[in-house]
Structure 1
Amino acid sequence: MEDVNELIHLFVRRYGLLNANCCESCCGQDVSLVQSHILYEIKRKKNPSMQSVADELGIDITTFSRQIKSLVTKGLIEKALDEEDKRVNVLSLTSEGERVSLLLRQYMEKHIERVFSFMTEFEKESVIHSLKLLTWALTKAGPCCTD
């Protein structure tokens, strides 16, 4: 049987490196890999709380707060108190943050398209189906090392 653990590690490292290289070259901003993930989650969730994004990314709130401060300084996001609960900070993309987020997405889509160009249509569909299935199973299984 294949060493599935090794395959997952290789995939995560190669895809992670792809993201890391993207962030420094595609959008005209010095955006780290972690910061690109934060921008993505803010865009995906539409004005989420700081805690919900930190939880989604598995980043402790202290480290996350430093990343948020940096993104605010770069003019990519805004942090504001929630209208209903003043103890909660919500995050939103600025127009520059929207622009950078779009450029990051376009860069990644172009590269993924290149990766898929080496596959047949059936292989591409199989990979997409398998990724959906793996994501579903990971969600059902919960976080690592909680058994």
Structure 2
Amino acid sequence: MEKIIPIFHSLSKSMRGIHKSSCNVISIVQSSILYEISLMNKPSMQMVAEAVGMDITTFSRQIGTLEKKELVVRTPYEGDRRIYLLSLTGKGSDMVVAINGIIASKMENALASMNDFERETVLRSMHVLEVKLRGN
């Protein structure tokens, strides 16, 4: 178990670095919010806040900032005016595509020196770990 702590911190720092360098106009948190919104069809604010692991008050401030940057639109739900649905603007969608492209490129570069077996093993292992961590 002693080996896992330095690996965890090093991997976490490296992933944060990749993410941060891919989104110079917005924060990593805002990038994560945009990504989660892109995965869903007009999700509620509560759904996205839970998906990114953020309390609704802090999340609401982040959405306000994203609205000012014209990346997100907040629309009241017709069935209950207390609920707001989120969607990306064209500019927001373009930003998600750009950020995902940069992240994919950097990850592909990191995996490029591996042979096919190593690359598949790493990707499969990362997926299994992600699923297990999500379950905890």
Q: What do the CA deviations read for 1:103-134 (whole angstroms, capped 9, x no partner)?
A: 11111111111111121111110011101111
Larger CA deviation: 83-92 vs 38-47: 83-92
Unaligned segments of structure 2, at least 5 residues: none
Answering whether residue 82 of structure 2 is matched by residue 87 of structure 1, we say yes
RMSD: 1.3
Unaligned segments of structure 1, at least 5 residues: 25-29, 143-147
Of 137, 141, 146, the match for 2:132: 137
Answering whether residue 20 of structure 2 is matched by residue 20 of structure 1, we say yes
Q: Which residue of 1 aligns with 2:38?
A: 43
Answering whether residue 121 of structure 2 is matched by residue 120 of structure 1, we say no
- Name the amino acid aligned to 2:122: V
Distance in 2 of aligned mates of 1:136 and 1:32:
25
- Name the amino acid aligned to 1:13: K
* SS, match of residue 87 in structure 1: strand
Answering whether residue 4 of structure 2 is matched by residue 4 of structure 1, we say yes
Q: Which residue of 2 aligns with 1:69?
A: 64
The percentage of aligned residue pairs carrying the same residue is 36
Larger CA deviation: 83-92 vs 110-119: 83-92
* SS, match of residue 47 in structure 1: coil
TM-score, structure 1 normalization: 0.86
Distance in 1 of aligned mates of 2:56 and 2:47:
10
* SS, match of residue 106 in structure 1: helix
How many residues align? The count is: 136
User: 1:46 offset after TM fit, Å?
Assistant: 2.3
Q: As a proportion of its length, which structure holds more strand?
A: 2
Q: Which residue of 1 aligns with 2:49?
A: 54
Distance in 2 of aligned mates of 1:139 and 1:19:
19
Q: Which residue of 2 aligns with 1:104?
A: 99
